[in-house]
């Protein structure tokens, strides 16, 4: 009798577990199917997932105090590209001026831009702020090589005020570039974009070339071809990549939100539009899990034969997967100083591959 009762309890227990498991599976399946429809009906969700400006890492840092991040030769500014838009800017001077920079005010930092040192305008990717750990480490490397580094948070990122959009991000970058050029005289100004920042960088440089004020060189770190191809290749899209109507559900909302970041289109010249016409350096790690290496290579293959680059140097530098630089650690490469020295030292007209 006891055996029968025990056996019945076990069957009831198994039945209860199966019922709960089935309920969980149905909920997961329902959520899986509902998400594409939610994104299609609310394209703003997709825009937020691209920008990730609400993800502020590292947390609890005071962006007004770059010295807290080990940048003791950096000044924090605030600029106003448009009415109701304010962006936070960091200006790091070359390391050789570290001692001179102590206790200096914004005017001193601005005046240093007119010195004989070249300037890099750095455009960061999505998520985080200008105080992100890997970004700070890159500023330190570039500063140690003798460059001024000017970087900022786009509207809606960090302590910058405004609503994110591709147009707004590009305009912010244009405003900072013009601010630099108004103070730097004839000193070289290079533009460096990383990840999503490569889209901002090519938008910016295209506008600069169209008005015939190109930068001295463009550096793209971990670039993609366009945002649709990047979204389709992103690891987050793996579980939906073969979902029926993937493009319609996930990629079309991006386009309808006015987001293109068309690095490939910006790199191709046409008869009527002068697109990018300056030296171009592309850096990409083979083991990049966020922006696939093949997208960077594809962008180079598009840009290299373009007529707009006919008189300029175009170079692609891959970093072997064994090095472990992935998406944001190329700054660790001991070869980076040599790469920049050789490329930027020869970024004048005279195209080489």
Active site residues: 195, 288, 327
Cα 68 to Cα 124, 127, 131, 195, 309: the distances in Å are 20, 20, 10, 25, 41
CA-angle at 238, arms to 232 and 243, nearest 5°: 80
Cis peptide before 58 (omega within 30 of 0): yes
- H or E segment and range at residue 336: helix 336-344
Backbone φ, ψ for residue 79 (5° rounding): -120, 160
Contact 269, 275 (CB under 8 A): yes
Compute, in degrees rounded to 10, the torsion defined by CA atoms 301, 304, 307, 308.
Answer: 110
Pairing of strands 217-221, 280-285: parallel
Tokens matching residue 78: 């605030």
**Integer CA distances (angstroms), 302 to 276, 277, 316, 322, in order:** 12, 14, 12, 27
User: Does residue 285 sit in helix, strand or coil?
Assistant: strand
**Phi then psi dihedrals of residue 274, to 5 deg:** -90, 105
**Inter-residue contact 278 to 217 (CB < 8 Å):** yes
**Which H or E element spans position 74?**
strand 74-82
């Amino acid at each position: 009798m006891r055996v029968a009762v025990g056996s019945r309890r076990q069957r009831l227990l198994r039945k209860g577990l199966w019922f709960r498991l089935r309920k969980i599976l149905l909920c997961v399946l329902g959520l899986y199917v509902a998400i594409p429809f939610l994104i299609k009906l609310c394209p703003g969700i997709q825009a937020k997932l691209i920008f990730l400006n609400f993800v502020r890492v590292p947390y609890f840092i005071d962006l007004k105090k770059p010295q807290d991040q080990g940048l003791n030769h950096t000044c924090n500014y605030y600029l106003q590209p448009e009415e109701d838009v304010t962006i936070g800017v960091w200006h790091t001077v070359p390391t050789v001026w570290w001692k001179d920079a102590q206790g200096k005010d914004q005017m001193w930092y601005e005046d240093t831009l007119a010195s004989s040192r070249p300037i890099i305008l750095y455009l960061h990717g999505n998520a985080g702020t200008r105080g992100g750990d890997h970004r700070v480490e890159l500023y330190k490397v570039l500063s140690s090589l003798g460059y001024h580094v000017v970087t900022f948070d786009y509207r809606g990122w960090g302590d910058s005020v405004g609503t994110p959009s591709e147009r707004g991000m590009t305009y912010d970058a244009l405003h900072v570039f013009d601010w630099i050029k108004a103070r730097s005289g004839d000193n070289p100004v290079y533009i460096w974009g990383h990840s999503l920042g490569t889209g901002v960088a090519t938008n910016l440089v295209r506008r600069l070339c169209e008005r015939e004020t190109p930068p001295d060189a463009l550096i793209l770190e971990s670039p993609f071809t366009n945002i649709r191809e990047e979204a389709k290749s992103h690891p987050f899209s793996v579980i939906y990549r073969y979902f029926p109507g993937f493009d319609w559900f996930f990629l079309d909302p991006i386009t309808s939100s006015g987001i293109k970041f068309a690095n490939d289109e910006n790199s191709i010249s046409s008869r009527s539009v002068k697109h990018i016409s300056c030296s171009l350096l592309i850096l990409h790690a083979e083991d990049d899990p966020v922006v696939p290496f093949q997208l960077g290579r594809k962008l180079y293959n598009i840009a290299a034969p373009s007529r707009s680059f006919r008189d300029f140097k175009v170079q692609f530098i891959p970093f072997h997967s064994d090095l472990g630089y992935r998406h944001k650690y190329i700054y660790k490469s001991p070869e980076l100083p040599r790469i920049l020295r050789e490329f930027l030292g020869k970024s004048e007209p005279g195209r080489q591959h």
